[in-house]
Amino acid sequence: MHLRLQIALLVGTFCSVQSFVIKTSNKSSADNAGDLVKDEDFSVSSLLERANINVGKGRSDPLVMFGDIAVDPELKNADPCTARGCLWPRATDGKVYVPFRISNQYSARERNTIMQALASFASSTCIRFIPLDRQRDFVNIQSRSGCFSFVGRRGRAQVVSLSRQGCVFNSVIQHELLHALGFNHEQQRSDRDSNVRILLENVEPGQESNFRKIQTINLGTPYDYNSVMHYGRFAFSRNRQPTILPIPDNNAVIGRATQMSTQDISRINLLYRCSECR
């Protein structure tokens, strides 16, 4: 059980590595940087950054650290898994049933987007998000002050905040649900320094914690630039310069996922010991 707890506490998330060659042009480097910034306007990290300007400031909001991870104020460590086991339990049929409740704050269209993201896990993993039916522990999806989630199963009604103002996108919903299943950000993995370089000199003051490395257990899976848990290269930039630079290929695409990658799916199945995808 101790190893499972460590994995759920520390695992980083997700891998199909893609690369591209920047086309040559007569534009200045500043112009090219501007174009790249625009290209990442809809990356997960850009969506989170814009939506989370006021995150954690609501009267009923939990403490939010590392961009979008909710923590109990009384805990000194950022991850509630340090205080309790945080895997959602497997049923006798081998599936993992995660009850959920969706607030009536959402429009019909927004609710449908959320439902589609919840259902996406069932097509390739043993995770089944099911409507709440008197279960004690469940995911309580609400529109609060931004996009955030606890890491792993916290117990009872644990909030996953998907603000109507900028969080109801498939990539963001999957991102926050992966936190709730026990996964951290990809660029915080223990092996990240062999795959990306963090340029703290370009990070907005006060946002450095988004790039803190964690001693993760990575389930034997490779680092994944295409994970829906990976931030974009300009995440929390103060000067329109990169904050995350892939290495050794500085031109590799990072943080552009619009849905879970192959490795995101693989790691869910490894972590929860899924014997089948459906």
Got the DSSP string for 145-171? SSEEE-SS--SSEEEEEE-TTTT-SHH
* Number of neighbouring beta carbons within 10 Å of residue 256: 18
Report the alpha-carbon distance of residue 218 to residue 56 in Å, rounded.
29
pLDDT of residue 44: 81
* Residue 74: active-site member: no
C-alpha of 145 from chain center: 17
Task: Report the candidate in 83, 58, 56 with the shortest Cα–Cα distance to residue 209.
Answer: 56
Task: Report the candidate in 40, 173, 65, 163 with the shortest Cα–Cα distance to residue 119.
Answer: 173
Query: Is 185 marked within a binding site?
Result: yes
Of 176, 201, 204, 276, the active-site residue reads 176
Give the pair of three-digit tokens for residue 103. Answer: 């607030």
Task: Report the candidate in 57, 71, 56, 58 with the shortest Cα–Cα distance to residue 150.
Answer: 71
pLDDT of residue 128: 98
- Identity of the residue numbered 33: A
pLDDT of residue 199: 98
Alpha-carbon distances of 92 from 124, 209, 269, rounded to whole Å:
19, 40, 16
Query: Is 230 marked within a binding site?
Result: no
pLDDT of residue 75: 41
List strand residue ranges (DSSP E) for the chain, in order. Answer: 63-65, 69-71, 96-102, 127-131, 138-142, 147-149, 157-162, 196-198, 244-246
Where the chain has pLDDT below 70, the residues are 1-42, 52, 54-60, 64-67, 72-84, 276-278
